Chain A
């Protein structure tokens, strides 16, 4: 009887890594570049979101907060006038005074 071949002793990681041999080289290359592209898109998106949000916080946020407050006050005043004087009072004044 032919002697048994030496049983190749491999660790688990080496066995998993060997599984990649089942794919052709082109598939392996494509997967590798797609995954790295995915990571760099993720990194770029992180930075873009940071830049856009901090820029908006500085350039836009205080103005928007104050505009909301002013509009709320105007709406409240209009509502109060409507309650006191009837629904026509809340409309913007029309006609010459």
Chain B
């Protein structure tokens, strides 16, 4: 540009920050490979559940959950803190999530982004006063690539730990390819002291459907997602485990009725299990949502049903 920029107050300061489309073609992280398809599957629950979510400020949110069921009866308290450093539309860092129950068992996650490219995540879980699991993930997001390293349950005293490396790259506009290497080191529990599993991932995206799969020596996991209309989506998932010689195929759909504020998710699979979750917002102005869930196993002829109310 041949214009002479004035040396005093820069005119750019008057413009609002432009949305950065550096990450427009980013494939996302490896863990989110099957996200679109898995979001359709219902999360069936049993018993009664009451959840109250309240935002105490624009950064801080708390959630109280009371659940009464034959599996677990108890109270859980959860908090979410979202920091003020904004890196994109809807993405602010640091993010801290924590969840405790009545006896003090806690699980916590801390996410932070450093600069434009690096993300760090800490996750920990305590059970009865002792740390049950802890993992650290560092991820670098380039323009087209995502590389991550996860170290889990590193126990230097007993010499055990898990390390996972992820790579996911956008190869063409529609095709993403990636790989994952899981390395486990444990002198006591693994014969030989160490083992590793390498798997490859591929995802093909079109505006209407997405096919994603991971292949490894221990199994194939493939997901197909189809968006029929704005309100109707289908998903098919195939999961196989060569070591245990079993495979499951699950079919699911999600249907919404926007006028009635209804979201219905249902699934059925080759283990003769049928499940569905039906959520309805009871009033357009008041924040009450009713959720009913049903799970039926035809082989065992057993059903589990749940009802929940979400406030806020």
Q: Which residues of chain B (249-294) have a CB below 8 Å from chain A?
A: 255, 257, 259-260, 262, 264, 266-268, 272, 274-276, 278, 280, 292, 294
Q: Which residues of B contact A60 (CB under 8 A)?
A: 266
Cα distance, A83 to B278, chains bound together (Å)? 35
Q: Which of B259, B274, B280 contacts A58, CB < 8 Å?
A: B274
- Asked if A59 and B260 make an inter-chain contact with CB atoms under 8 angstroms apart, the answer reads no
- Asked if B262 and A55 make an inter-chain contact with CB atoms under 8 angstroms apart, the answer reads no
Cα distance, A73 to B257, chains bound together (Å)? 13
Given contacts A63-B262, A63-B264, A66-B280, contact A58 B255 (CB under 8 A): no
- Asked if A58 and B260 make an inter-chain contact with CB atoms under 8 angstroms apart, the answer reads no
- Asked if B278 and A63 make an inter-chain contact with CB atoms under 8 angstroms apart, the answer reads yes
- Asked if B257 and A59 make an inter-chain contact with CB atoms under 8 angstroms apart, the answer reads no
- The dominant DSSP class at the A interface is helix
A65 to chain B, nearest CB (A): 9
Does B296 interact with chain A (Cβ within 8 Å)? yes
Q: Considering the complex, give the chain A residue whose CB is closest to the CB of B272.
A: A51
- Asked if A62 and B259 make an inter-chain contact with CB atoms under 8 angstroms apart, the answer reads no
- Asked if A54 and B276 make an inter-chain contact with CB atoms under 8 angstroms apart, the answer reads no
Does A28 interact with chain B (Cβ within 8 Å)? no
Given contacts A63-B264, A63-B278, contact A58 B296 (CB under 8 A): yes
- Asked if A59 and B266 make an inter-chain contact with CB atoms under 8 angstroms apart, the answer reads yes
Cα distance, A62 to B268, chains bound together (Å)? 16
Q: Considering the complex, give the chain B residue whose CB is closest to the CB of A70.
A: B260
- Asked if B274 and A62 make an inter-chain contact with CB atoms under 8 angstroms apart, the answer reads no
- Interface range, A side: 10 to 19
Q: Which residues of chain A (71-97) have a CB below 8 Å from chain B?
A: 73-74
- Asked if B260 and A62 make an inter-chain contact with CB atoms under 8 angstroms apart, the answer reads no
- The dominant DSSP class at the B interface is strand
Q: Which residues of B contact A62 (CB under 8 A)?
A: 264, 276, 278, 292
- Asked if B274 and A66 make an inter-chain contact with CB atoms under 8 angstroms apart, the answer reads no
Does A20 interact with chain B (Cβ within 8 Å)? no
B248 to chain A, nearest CB (A): 17
Q: Which residues of A contact B272 (CB under 8 A)?
A: 51
Q: Considering the complex, give the chain A residue whose CB is closest to the CB of B293.
A: A58
- Asked if B275 and A58 make an inter-chain contact with CB atoms under 8 angstroms apart, the answer reads yes
Given contacts A63-B255, A70-B257, contact A51 B278 (CB under 8 A): no
Q: Which residues of chain B (134-149) have a CB below 8 Å from chain A?
A: none
Q: Which residues of A contact B274 (CB under 8 A)?
A: 54-55, 58-59
Cα distance, A74 to B268, chains bound together (Å)? 32
- Asked if A58 and B264 make an inter-chain contact with CB atoms under 8 angstroms apart, the answer reads no
B304 to chain A, nearest CB (A): 11
- Asked if B262 and A66 make an inter-chain contact with CB atoms under 8 angstroms apart, the answer reads yes
A67 to chain B, nearest CB (A): 6
Q: Which residues of B contact A74 (CB under 8 A)?
A: 259
Q: Considering the complex, give the chain A residue whose CB is closest to the CB of B278.
A: A62
A76 to chain B, nearest CB (A): 12
Does B298 interact with chain A (Cβ within 8 Å)? yes
Residue among A60, A63, A70 with the highest chain B CB neighbour number at 10 A: A63
- Asked if A69 and B275 make an inter-chain contact with CB atoms under 8 angstroms apart, the answer reads no
Cα distance, A13 to B272, chains bound together (Å)? 46
Q: Which residues of A contact B262 (CB under 8 A)?
A: 63, 66, 70
10 closest A-B pairs by CB: A59-B266, A63-B264, A62-B278, A70-B260, A58-B294, A66-B262, A55-B274, A70-B259, A58-B276, A59-B276
Q: List 15 A-B contacts (CB under 8 A).
A: A54-B296, A55-B274, A58-B266, A58-B275, A58-B294, A59-B266, A62-B264, A63-B262, A66-B257, A66-B260, A66-B280, A67-B260, A70-B257, A70-B260, A70-B262
If A55-B298, A70-B262 are given as contacts, then 5 extra A-B residue pairs at C-beta distance below 8 Å, sorted by A number, are: A51-B272, A63-B262, A66-B257, A66-B264, A70-B259
